[in-house]
A and B are shown apart, each in its own frame.
Chain A
Amino acid sequence: MRQMKGWQYSLEDLDDEGSRVEDTIGPRTTRNTRGRGRRSQRGESRIILRREMDNMEVKAGDILLIEDKDEDREDDDNEQPSIGLVKDIIFGTDSFLEVRVFWFYRMSEIDSSVLPGGEERFTKNDVFLSPVVDRIMLGTILDSCAVISEKSLATIVIDESTTDTTFVCRRFCDSDGEYFTEAFDWDEMYQRFKENSDDFYQLVKNLTVKPTMKQFTKTLQQKGIDPRSIKNEEKKLKQKQRQQTRKKKANYTESEDDEYDDDDEFYIYDLDAEEDDAFDETEEGDDDDFLYSSKPAKGRKKGRPRRKARSSRRGKRSDRLPKLPSVARRLDINEDGRVLDIDAIFSDEDSREVDISSTKTSKAFRRAKKVLHTSAKIHSLPCREDEFHQLFFSLESAVQSQVGRCIYVSGTPGVGKTATIREVIKQLSASFIAETHHKMFSYVEINGLKVVSPQASYEALWEKVSGKRATASNSLTQLEEYFNKDDTKRKPLVVLLDEMDQIVTKNQSVMYNFFNWPSYPHSKLIVIAVANTMDLPERMLTNKISSRLGLTRIQFSSYTYTQLSEIIKSRLEKLGRLNEERMVISNDAIAFASRKVASVSGDARRALMICIRAVEIAEMEFLAKPIEERNKLDSRYTVTIMHIMKAVNETASSPIANYLNSLPFMSKMLLAAVLLRTKRTGVAEVTVGDVIDELNNQFHVVLFTELNRRLSEEQLEMARVLYESNNRSQLRPTGIIFILKDLEENGILIVQHLKLERSRLLRLNVSQAEILSSFKKDSLLKEMVQST
Chain B
Amino acid sequence: MTFQEVYGTKLRGRVLGKLSAKTTLGDKLIRLYDLDKEQHQMYKVLENTVKYREGKSVLLIGPRGIGKTTMVNNCLLELGSKYEGQFLVIRISGLYERDDKTAIREIARQLDFIMEEEDDGDEENEDVQDGFEKVSSNATMRMIMSLLDRTQLNEEEDVAGGKREADQIPLIFVIDEVDKYASNSKQTLLYNLFDIAQASEGRKSDNGGGGGGGSTLTVIGISSKATVREQLEKRVKSRFSQRMIQLNKCKTLTDYCGAIGCMLKLEDDDNDDEWVSKYNKKVDEMINTTGSALRKIIVENFYTVKDLNALKNSLVPYMKYGFVRGSEQLLKSNLEVYDDRNFELLGSLTELELKLLICTARVKSRNSIDRVNFNVAFEEYLKMAANETNTLNTQLETMGVSLRRNGEFTGNGYSSSRELMLGCWERLAEIGVMGEPMKQINGVNAESYTGGEFNKMYVCDIELNEIMKYFREEREEAWVEKWCRI
Interface set of A (CB-CB < 8 Å, partner B): 262, 265-266, 270, 273, 295-303, 305, 308-309, 312-315, 318, 320-327, 329, 333, 336-339, 342, 345-346, 349, 366, 369-371, 373-377, 412-414, 422, 425-426, 429, 439, 442-445, 447, 449-453, 456, 459-460, 472, 499, 502, 532, 601, 603, 605-606, 609-610, 613, 650-651, 654-656, 658-659, 661-667, 689, 693, 707, 711, 713-716, 721-722, 725-726, 728-739, 742, 745-748, 754-759, 765-766
15 chain-A/chain-B pairs, Cβ below 8 angstroms: A265-B207, A295-B161, A300-B208, A302-B161, A342-B204, A413-B234, A413-B237, A426-B158, A450-B149, A452-B141, A651-B242, A714-B295, A716-B296, A737-B340, A758-B463
> Chain B 278-289 against A: per-residue CB contact (8 Å), 1 yes, 0 no?
000000000000
B437 pairs with A759, CB closer than 8 A: yes
The CA-CA distance from A651 to B250 in the complex, in Å, is 23
The CA-CA distance from A658 to B246 in the complex, in Å, is 9
* Partner-contacting stretch, out of B123-131, B267-275, B378-386: B123-131
B205 pairs with A349, CB closer than 8 A: no
B124 pairs with A725, CB closer than 8 A: no
- Contacting A322 at CB < 8 Å: which of B86, B132, B200, B435? B132
In this complex, the member of A300, A302, A661, A734 whose beta carbon has the largest number of chain B beta carbons within 10 angstroms is: A734
> Chain B 149-193 against A: per-residue CB contact (8 Å), 1 yes, 0 no?
101111110111111111111110000000100000011100110
B317 proximal to A (CB < 8 A):
no
> Chain B 132-148 against A: per-residue CB contact (8 Å), 1 yes, 0 no?
10000110011101110
Q: For chain B, residues 81 to 104, give those with C-beta under 8 angstroms from any C-beta of chain A.
A: 85-88, 100-101, 104
* Partner-contacting stretch, out of B71-79, B331-339, B401-409, B417-425: B331-339
> Chain B 228-261 against A: per-residue CB contact (8 Å), 1 yes, 0 no?
1100001101110111101011110000000000
In the complex, number of A-B residue pairs with CB atoms less than 8 Å apart: 340
Closest A residue by C-beta to B146: A321
B212 proximal to A (CB < 8 A):
yes
Closest B residue by C-beta to A374: B198
Instruction: Report chain A residues within 8 Å CB of B432.
Output: 755
B115 proximal to A (CB < 8 A):
yes
Instruction: Report chain B residues within 8 Å CB of A765.
Output: 227
Instruction: Report chain B residues within 8 Å CB of A713.
Output: 290
A532 pairs with B234, CB closer than 8 A: yes
| A373-B202, A664-B306 known; A443+B155 contact, CB < 8 A | yes
B396 proximal to A (CB < 8 A):
no
B389 proximal to A (CB < 8 A):
no
| A300-B161, A329-B86, A758-B461 known; A734+B305 contact, CB < 8 A | yes
Chain B proximity of A505: nearest CB distance (Å): 12
Instruction: Report chain B residues within 8 Å CB of A745.
Output: 63-64, 224-225
In this complex, the member of B160, B211, B302 whose beta carbon has the largest number of chain A beta carbons within 10 angstroms is: B160
B43 proximal to A (CB < 8 A):
no
A324 pairs with B169, CB closer than 8 A: yes
A757 pairs with B342, CB closer than 8 A: yes
**10 tightest CB-CB pairs across the interface, nearest first?**
A735-B338, A664-B306, A413-B238, A747-B227, A747-B225, A662-B248, A326-B166, A725-B335, A651-B242, A756-B435
The CA-CA distance from A295 to B209 in the complex, in Å, is 12
The CA-CA distance from A76 to B132 in the complex, in Å, is 23
Closest A residue by C-beta to B332: A726
Interface set of B (CB-CB < 8 Å, partner A): 51-52, 54, 61, 63-64, 85-88, 100-101, 104, 111, 115, 118, 124-125, 127-132, 137-138, 141-143, 145-147, 149, 151-156, 158-171, 179, 186-188, 191-192, 198-212, 215, 224-229, 234-235, 237-239, 241-244, 246, 248-251, 290-291, 295-296, 299-300, 302-307, 332-333, 335-336, 338-340, 342-343, 370, 432, 435, 437-438, 459, 461-463, 466, 469-470, 473
| A324-B168, A759-B437 known; A262+B207 contact, CB < 8 A | yes
| A300-B208, A324-B171, A756-B435 known; A730+B343 contact, CB < 8 A | yes
Instruction: Report chain A residues within 8 Å CB of B303.
Output: 664-666, 707, 711, 721-722
The CA-CA distance from A650 to B156 in the complex, in Å, is 42
- Contacting A715 at CB < 8 Å: which of B88, B291, B306? B291
B304 pairs with A756, CB closer than 8 A: no
List 6 additional A-B contacts (Cβ < 8 Å) besides A298-B209, A313-B128, A442-B155: A295-B161, A299-B208, A325-B169, A375-B203, A502-B186, A655-B246
B153 pairs with A327, CB closer than 8 A: no
The CA-CA distance from A297 to B203 in the complex, in Å, is 20
Instruction: Report chain B residues within 8 Å CB of A732.
Output: 340
Instruction: Report chain B residues within 8 Å CB of A315.
Output: 127-128
A324 pairs with B147, CB closer than 8 A: yes
- Contacting B63 at CB < 8 Å: which of A339, A459, A654, A746? A746
Chain A proximity of B226: nearest CB distance (Å): 5
- Contacting A754 at CB < 8 Å: which of B242, B251, B438? B438
Chain B proximity of A174: nearest CB distance (Å): 12
The CA-CA distance from A472 to B138 in the complex, in Å, is 10
A322 pairs with B130, CB closer than 8 A: yes
Closest B residue by C-beta to A425: B153
| A663-B249, A689-B463, A759-B370 known; A374+B199 contact, CB < 8 A | yes
Instruction: Report chain B residues within 8 Å CB of A725.
Output: 333, 335-336, 338-339
Instruction: Report chain B residues within 8 Å CB of A689.
Output: 463
Chain A proximity of B85: nearest CB distance (Å): 8
Instruction: Report chain A residues within 8 Å CB of B129.
Output: 322
Chain B proximity of A768: nearest CB distance (Å): 15
B305 pairs with A714, CB closer than 8 A: no
Instruction: Report chain A residues within 8 Å CB of B306.
Output: 663-664, 667
A327 pairs with B167, CB closer than 8 A: yes
Instruction: Report chain A residues within 8 Å CB of B332.
Output: 726
Instruction: Report chain B residues within 8 Å CB of A449.
Output: 186-188, 191-192, 235
B128 pairs with A320, CB closer than 8 A: yes
Instruction: Report chain B residues within 8 Å CB of A309.
Output: 163
The CA-CA distance from A215 to B388 in the complex, in Å, is 108
Chain B proximity of A573: nearest CB distance (Å): 15
Instruction: Report chain B residues within 8 Å CB of A472.
Output: 138
- Contacting B305 at CB < 8 Å: which of A325, A738, A748? A738
| A425-B153, A731-B469 known; A325+B118 contact, CB < 8 A | yes
